[in-house]
Amino acid sequence: MSADKNLILDVKNLKVHFSIAAKSVWPWAKPANLKAVDGVNVRLYEGETLGVVGESGCGKSTFARAIIGLVEATDGEVVWLGEDLTKLEDEPLRQKRKEIQMIFQDPLASLNPRMTVGDIIAEPLQTFYPKLTKDEVKDRVKEMMAKVGLLPNVINRYPHEFSGGQCQRIGIARALILKPKMIICDEPVSALDVSIQAQVVNLLKELQKELGLSLVFIAHDLSVVKHISDRVLVMYLGNEVELGESDALFSNPKHPYTKALMSAVPIPDPKLERAKTIEMLEGDLPSPINPPSGCVFRTRCPQATDACAETKPELKGNDVHAVSCLAVTDI
């Protein structure tokens, strides 16, 4: 991977902790510390798609928002093209957002209902390139609308006049209008029908190939992640548990948590689907305010030992495949 592609993003020991007011009548009680992201290390290369998966509440969206600076990192580095974004002041960081854009989960909620489609897509251009004339802005907007499959005659319509899939195309056009190098997709298809999901995912793949984009793609649907991702990061309770190339990770997962996730992916063969064994996880997801000692997955892990309660495993391996588990030694 790294031999023929340029490294553009290097996330080092990223942590995002939130101070939560203690639910206590005592005014001197200390606030609780919620560890939403607790030490994630990952690299992203030019033209690559990194999928990020895990249960709800595992820190996927917080991790993504910390990369772009929408939430403040507590510790660690987010090195973008050799520059640590966590060290930048407001204006330099704002200028970097021309290179890193985001597509949000709810397509309609992410669009201003009082603005026309043309104004929504044009807003980033007007913010970062105020010297562009109205005609130049309009031409660029129409060009981008055509790329994402929107007809130019809808430029003066409002978001409520569009379907969910069309609204997501508007969001994609807005993200691409500045010609960024990377787009963070925070569950961009979870609110869409299956057929529309396929259209949006295929659109992203086509635009990625045409424009040379790098993507961070967050989703719950593992079949979608497998289809679009080159590599996949598996997160659990704010921690990275496995990282690997998509085909290898889906065909031969190493971490017990990853195995449980992959066993739940439907197989499009009725006989194989009925014959497969789903590895069920026992217990509930622990609270990130009071995570287990040692390995955070040990309370639900069928392979847990006493050592797992004492030692927090590190991610061992490389960009091709790495696992954070004391029981896994063949990496």
**Are 66 and 248 spatial neighbours (Cβ–Cβ below 8 Å)?**
no
State pLDDT tens for residues 297-317.
999 998 888 999 999 999 888
Mean pLDDT across 196-215: 90
pLDDT at position 106, please?
Answer: 85
Q: Select the more confidently predicted residue: 119 or 330.
A: 119
Name the least confident of 104-118, 184-198, 227-241. 184-198
pLDDT at position 190, please?
Answer: 82
Residue 221 has pLDDT above 90, yes or no: no
Residue 3 has pLDDT above 70, yes or no: no
pLDDT at position 2, please?
Answer: 46
pLDDT at position 22, please?
Answer: 64
State pLDDT tens for residues 139-194.
999 999 999 999 989 999 999 999 988 999 999 999 999 999 999 999 888 878 88
Q: Is 52 helix (H, G, I), strand (E, B) or coil?
A: strand
- Go through the domains of the chain in sequence order and give each one's CATH number: 7-99+180-323 (3.40.50.300), 113-178 (no CATH)
Q: How far is 117 from 155, CA to CA, in rounded Å?
A: 5
DSSP 105-161: S-TTTTS-TTS-HHHHHHHHHHHH-TTS-HHHHHHHHHHHHHHTT--GGGTT--GGG
Which residues is 40 bridged to in the sheet? 14
pLDDT at position 19, please?
Answer: 87
pLDDT at position 218, please?
Answer: 94
pLDDT at position 20, please?
Answer: 82
Residue 205 has pLDDT above 80, yes or no: yes
State pLDDT tens for residues 242-299.
999 998 898 889 999 999 888 877 777 777 667 777 777 777 888 888 899 999 999 9
Q: What is the spatial order of strands in the sheet that 316-317 belongs to?
A: 100-103, 182-186, 214-218, 49-53, 231-236, 239-245, 321-323, 316-317
pLDDT at position 150, please?
Answer: 92
State pLDDT tens for residues 116-138.
999 999 999 999 999 999 999 99
Q: How far is 102 from 126, CA to CA, in rounded Å?
A: 18
Neighbours of 215 (CB within 10 A): 24
